[in-house]
Amino acid sequence: MTGALRMLGLTAARHARATIVLWLVLLTFAGVGALTLARGATASYTMPGASFEAVREDLQAKIPDNGISSGYVVLEAESGFNDTQKQAIAQAVTTIGQLPEVAGSFDPFVAADAVIQASVQLEDAKAQLAQAKAQIDEGQAQLDAATAALPEGLSAEEIAALAPDVATQEAALAEARTTLRTNQDKVDAAQRELDAVADASMVSEDGTAAIVNIAFNQDTNSLPTSVREEVFSTFDTLKDTGLTVNYSYELDQDVSDVFGISEIIGLVVAFIVLLITLGAVIAAGLPLVLALMGAGTAVALVYTSTTFIGMTATDPVLALMLGLGVGIDYALLILYRFREELRDGADVLDAVGTANSTAGHSVLFAGMTNIIALSALCLTGLPFLAIMGFAGAFAVALVVASSLTLVPAVLSLLGTRLLTRTQRKELTQLNLARTQEIQVPRNRREAFAQIEASYEGWGGFVTRHPFAMTFVAVAVLVLAIIPTTSLRLGLPDGSYQATDSTSYQAYQTISEKFGEGVNGPIIAGLTLTVPGDEARLRDVALDVAGRLKNNKIASVAIVATSDDNATAILALFPTEGPSADSTLATVHSMNEKLEATEKATATTIGLTGSTVANIEISERISQSIPLYLGVVIALCLVLMAFVFRSIIVPVMATIGFLLSTLASFGAVVAVYQWGWLADIFGVTQPGPILAFLPILLIGILFGLSMDYQIFIVSGMRDAHRKGHLAGDAVVLGYKQGGAVVTACGLIMVAVFAGFIFSHLTAVRPIGFTLALGVAMDAFLIRTTFIPATMYLLGEAAWWWPFEKKEHDEEEAPKHIAE
């Protein structure tokens, strides 16, 4: 493998300009494809085979006009809506309703007027019932008087013979009472339905807010950009009439700009770290430029693939995040080794070949680890997670390819210009000494000095206090893990968006004017086992609602009925928002009542809607985490054992990975669920953690932690194989790889932290968790916990039962203390 990598690097170096041109052409074609062919985010967080999916598809087949998904346009009028504004709203609703992607658009004032008219008619019916009852009472009084005038003790037959009018009047009164009871039942049913409709009115009680519901015949995530723009442009014209217009989260999802100011700041910080590490501007800028080329090409191709693959809004951003992070790290690793070779006197081509065969080997293996871990997301059985993993894996694969070809090509062109002035001066002196055949001895005293120097700095400090440093690292991580016990998963809604976003404003207006639960109703679909008329269907629907709901349901509305009067759709509005604990408990309670309610009402019932979908998806992801984590841990053990020929090293690597991962979970719970430091991190509404974040973190952090493990332990293993004592091998290996891991960790933290303030709020906790996870793994695990425990374990760390230990021919000096 090393020979093939050396040949690949030398080939790229010998044809450097052609290699660079090929990558530029690929980047250009990818960019053109992304601009002209990409459809953008067209997939949603769905779960094929889930009950909510089956119910939604069934309702769509039975009541097509209800659509598959919907979005809200929230309107506000400070002093109430005037006739001009109502007419403009009606015109906008009509215009949008004509789009082929729209199943129906609903004017809130039409429904409100219908409620008012129904209320008037109901009051008239009540008045007529009261009048009928009074007439019955009056007739009864007359009948009682006539009966009292008759002689006592008469039988019914005698009364009928003596006073036939009394018998006729009794029969008429009985019929009138029957009619009264029938009409009273109808009025009571109408009152129940009117109350339900009134409670779910899309016009607020104070008349200053209204909601336009737009039903689409496809998922809102898959709506073409042109449809969204048409909705926005149509309803934005209402602002000219003095209305405030906002759009719900379902409509306001824009991923056209995946790279913003916060990401740029992250790259600036990464450049500063590179400059400090490498000491030369050209050398510091090179990994950034090359990573941008590789990651940019990957993201453009991922975005282009949306032409035929449905992706969520998070996928391109994740590809960018990973591509940039690992791209800089991989380029830095090869560059670092290239400079070392140059400083040792190698010519440019030899330095390129050696760097590609050594550091490139680590890059290839680290990249494969990332690719495998991300691709394994398909084990969850969730298509959106599988595609997310494949998008990230593709970005890493392309970055690995650029690192092993584009980086050597550019290194060969820049050569010694990548060294600092001091390093170039030293190299000149070394070459001069060689030219004059001056021997540069490397004796045992120099080797002792190298070991002694290695005990300076952080690596030496850690190995001088191994027990204390192990305790500190573990204690900090365990404290960070504690909040993990409160972890609750969910999917984002409008309350999680930036406070200045239209979706957040829409969510808040709905919450204040209509109730928070209107933002995420629980949808129940029911079908009669024996079809009847519309009145019976509505009666049964309200009966079902009454049986399913609890005190956490604020109101109920019959949203739609089928043409055959066999199926109805109910909207049950919780008292709290879609992500509230009470809403979760209510959905679980309804699911428990379904079977009994179906038997009692002779119906088949199912729950659906975004609130139910989010709960089911989150619970499904929670159930898949143990399997995925188990696969990743097994992979970790096998890969590390294969690479390092050791039993203990893989175990310690896995323990470190688990500690840093769980600590990251705890930190994200504390900030995004509990609300600690919410103002600093822009958390507008603490709540459930993004459902797929834990499993995504496991996949990404596993790959990165194994990268750093390889970078830092490889040097230790090489030193030990050369015959150095175990303790000396630890400090020598740390000296070789510690600086690179520190720089890579800082760079990766800077890149990921740049996404903490992304305009896509779903990406923010991902950036936070990855940044913190990398920081804890790089600085508490790989550069502290691992060297400390390796030092404590000594020779036992390198025990391998399947192979006889062999040292390199070159004899290493004994420990300096000897």
What is the tens place of the pLDDT at every residue in 164-199?
666 677 777 788 788 878 877 777 777 766 665 555
State pLDDT tens for residues 708-745. Answer: 888 888 888 888 888 888 888 888 888 878 888 888 88
Residues forming beta bridges with residue 490, ordered by sequence position: 690
Give me the mean pLDDT over the 768-786 stretch.
Answer: 94
Report the distance separating Cα 374 and Cα 368, nearest Å: 10
The Cα angle at residue 770 between residues 580 and 33, in degrees rounded to 5? 95
- Residue 547: predicted pLDDT: 92
- Residue 443: predicted pLDDT: 47
| pTM (2 d.p.) | 0.77
pLDDT-derived band at 813 (thresholds 50, 70, 90) equals very low
* Complete domains list, the chain, with CATH: 1-41+259-438 (1.20.1640.10), 49-252 (no CATH), 457-486+614-818 (1.20.1640.10), 521-608 (3.30.70.1320)
* For the chain, percent of residues with pLDDT exceeding 70: 87
Say which amino acid occupies 158.
E
Give me the mean pLDDT over the 436-447 stretch.
Answer: 47
Report the distance separating Cα 28 and Cα 789, nearest Å: 49
Q: What are phi and psi of 99, to 5 degrees?
A: -70, 140
pLDDT-derived band at 444 (thresholds 50, 70, 90) equals very low
Residue 757 pLDDT exceeds 80: yes
- Residue 318: predicted pLDDT: 80
Give me the mean pLDDT over the 284-288 stretch.
Answer: 88
Say which amino acid occupies 540.
V
3-state secondary structure at position 524:
strand
Q: What are phi and psi of 749, to 5 degrees?
A: -60, -45
State pLDDT tens for residues 119-173. Answer: 667 777 778 878 888 888 887 787 777 777 666 666 666 666 655 666 677 777 7
Mean pLDDT for the chain overall: 83
Distances in whole angstroms, Cα of residue 818 to Cα of each of 230, 448, 727, 813: 81, 11, 13, 10
- Residue 154: predicted pLDDT: 62
Residues 6+ apart with CB under 8 A from 624: 379, 380, 381, 382, 695
Residues 6+ apart with CB under 8 A from 771: 748, 749, 752, 753, 756
- Residue 435: predicted pLDDT: 58
Burial of 320 (0-12, 13-18, 19+ CB in 10 A): buried
Question: Greater confidence, 671 or 192?
Answer: 671
* For the chain, percent of residues with pLDDT exceeding 90: 30
Say which amino acid occupies 738.
G
pLDDT-derived band at 663 (thresholds 50, 70, 90) equals very high
The answer to whether residues 96 and 238 touch, using CB atoms and an 8 Å cutoff, is no
Task: Supply 690's token pair.
Answer: 């993004």
pLDDT-derived band at 367 (thresholds 50, 70, 90) equals confident
Report the distance separating Cα 72 and Cα 215, nearest Å: 9
Give me the mean pLDDT over the 321-347 stretch.
Answer: 86
Question: Greater confidence, 225 or 467?
Answer: 467
Give me the mean pLDDT over the 67-90 stretch.
Answer: 91
Give me the mean pLDDT over the 448-463 stretch.
Answer: 68
- Please tell me what DSSP assigns to residue 570: E
State pLDDT tens for residues 459-491. Answer: 889 999 999 999 999 999 999 999 999 988 887
Report the distance separating Cα 202 and Cα 211, nearest Å: 5
Residue 589 pLDDT exceeds 80: yes
- Residue 818: predicted pLDDT: 40
Report the distance separating Cα 795 and Cα 191, nearest Å: 83
State pLDDT tens for residues 385-407. Answer: 888 889 889 999 999 999 999 99
